[in-house]
C-alpha cells in the first residue's frame, strides 16, 4: 500500500474507533465497538437512535472532535451513519 493511502486509512480508522466508542457509550450498547458497522443507519432503523440520543451524540462530537452541528437537515446528513460522522470529522482536519 502506498504511504499516502496507509496514512489516510490509519487516520480514518483512528477516528472510526473513537466514534464507535462514543456511540457505544451514548447508546449504552453491550457489544464490541467493532460490531457497530460503519455504514449502519443510526436513526430510524439500524442502531435505532432517537432524538434524545441525537442530542447526546451532538454534544459528544463537539466535545471530542470540535465538530459543532446545529441540528439542521443538512447537519443531520452528517450523522446518518458512523462513516458520515468520520467524513465530517476528517473534513474538519482539511480546513485551513
Partner 1 sequence: MSLEDEYRAVRHHAALSRMDHVGLLRLVGDDAIEAVDAVCSGDLWVRDGRMLQTLILDDRAQPVADVYVCPDNDACFLMVEGITTEELSECLARHVDPDLDFELEDLGPEHELLSVHGPYAWEVMSRWLTPDIIGLPYLSFYHFDLGVCFRAGKTGEFGYDLMLRNEHASKARSELLELVTSLDGAEVSLEALDLCALENGFFSIRHGSVDGLTPIELQLQWRVSTRKRFPGVAAIEERRARGIRRRLTHFVAADGVKSGDVLRGPDSPLGEVMTAAFSPAVGGVVGTALLDISVAHPGIAELFVRDRDATFPIRTVSSPLVLNRSLLVDPRSETYATREDSLRPPLWQGALP
Q: Which residues bind partner 1 (CB under 8 A)?
A: 1-2, 5, 8-9, 12-13, 16, 30-31, 34-41, 44-47, 73-74, 76-77, 80-81, 83-84, 86-87, 90
Q: What's the closest the beta carbon of residue 31 comes to partner 1, in angstroms?
A: 6
Of residues 23 and 60, the one with the C-beta less far from partner 1: 23
SS3 content of the chain, % helix, strand, coil (to 5): 65, 5, 30
Of residues 44 and 59, the one with the C-beta less far from partner 1: 44
Q: What's the closest the beta carbon of residue 60 comes to partner 1, in angstroms?
A: 19
Of the candidates 90, 86, 94, the residue with the CA atom closest to the CA atom of residue 16: 86
**34-37 long-range CB contacts below 8 Å, 24 or more apart?**
36/82, 37/82
Amino acid at each position: 500500500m502506498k504511504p499516502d493511502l496507509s496514512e489516510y486509512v490509519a487516520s480514518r480508522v483512528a477516528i472510526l474507533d473513537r466514534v464507535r466508542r462514543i456511540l457505544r457509550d451514548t447508546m449504552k450498547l453491550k457489544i464490541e465497538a467493532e460490531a457497530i458497522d460503519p455504514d449502519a443507519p443510526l436513526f430510524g432503523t439500524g442502531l435505532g437512535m432517537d432524538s434524545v440520543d441525537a442530542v447526546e451524540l451532538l454534544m459528544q462530537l463537539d466535545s471530542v472532535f470540535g465538530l459543532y452541528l446545529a441540528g439542521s437537515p443538512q447537519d443531520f446528513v452528517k450523522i446518518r451513519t458512523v462513516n458520515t460522522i468520520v467524513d465530517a470529522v476528517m473534513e474538519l482536519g482539511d480546513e485551513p
